[in-house]
A and B are shown apart, each in its own frame.
Chain A
Amino acid sequence: MQGQGTEARMQQTHRGDRDHARPDADGALVRRPIDPQRLLAAVASPEAGANVLFLGTARGFTDGVETTGLEYEAHDSMATEALERLCTAAVDRFSLLACAVEHRLGRIAIGEAAVGIAASAPHRRAAFEAAEWLMERIKREVPIWKCEEWADGRRAWVHAEPAPRDGGAGHERGDGPVDPGARRSRGRRRRR
């Protein structure tokens, strides 16, 4: 239910390497800095009364331990498909006008954004809730991995600790019909 104007703008900001069945729902992996203006432009609509932009940035200190940088990698095709699927699901679930997500891969300096989410809606509640919902889902189920690098020179890939056989945090499918075929049978996944 986006206006003609939104579609026209999406064509302009389209990166040209994929066809978008849903011009109002755009999820992508990028290997350059997150561009907040591009994200906001992608969701702009004359019907919007709320445009929420969320940036997840690399935090320099966690519980007093200094992180010097992050590195992300992904299963490119599965992650891209998952991001697009989640954007489409968010538009439907929260009746958004449009939604756009970028997740960055490669090395990221402290303070830089690793993920950007933009959501537009007629009123603010839907846009805020959609951004929060998307962030939760991205962290839980998109095949992207983070490597943390610490001030003492150590580095380690982050793989959430197991809830053995019953929903390790990594591959939960959550509550929506986003990808029912993706559920694993070994270990019932928790629902939140």
Chain B
Amino acid sequence: MQHASPSAAGRLRLALFAGLAELAGTRSLEIPWDGGSVGDLRRAIVDARPAVAGLLDRSAVAIGGRYADDDVPVPAGADVAILPPVSGG
């Protein structure tokens, strides 16, 4: 996996890409995390990095390489990637 470093207990490490990484100032964001859904995760990310709010709202969340809806739980130590709108080709 591209994003495999384990998160410490109570923390979650997120892989960010492209403009989202630029806004957050990092490609690997670690946030406090005591469990919750993808929707909760979105709010936690905005708390940690308010600048990403607008683009984050248009971004997808993937857990273990699979797109995850807002009601999906995010387990501790999950491999989480935040994917802004794509622009390949």
Contacts and interface: CB of A to CB of B under 8 A. Distances in A.
Contacts of B87: 139, 144-146, 157-160, 170
A6 B69 CA distance: 40
A73 B18 contact: yes
A77 to B, nearest CB: 6
Nearest to A76: B2
B89 A171 contact: no
Contacts, number: 105
Contacts of A139: 86-89
Interface of A is mostly: mixed
A160 B62 contact: no
B69 A171 contact: no
Nearest to A134: B89
Contacts of B17: 73, 75, 143, 145
Contacts of A181: 66-67
Given A72-B88, A78-B62, 9 more contacts: A73-B18, A77-B65, A138-B89, A139-B86, A146-B87, A157-B18, A157-B87, A162-B85, A186-B69
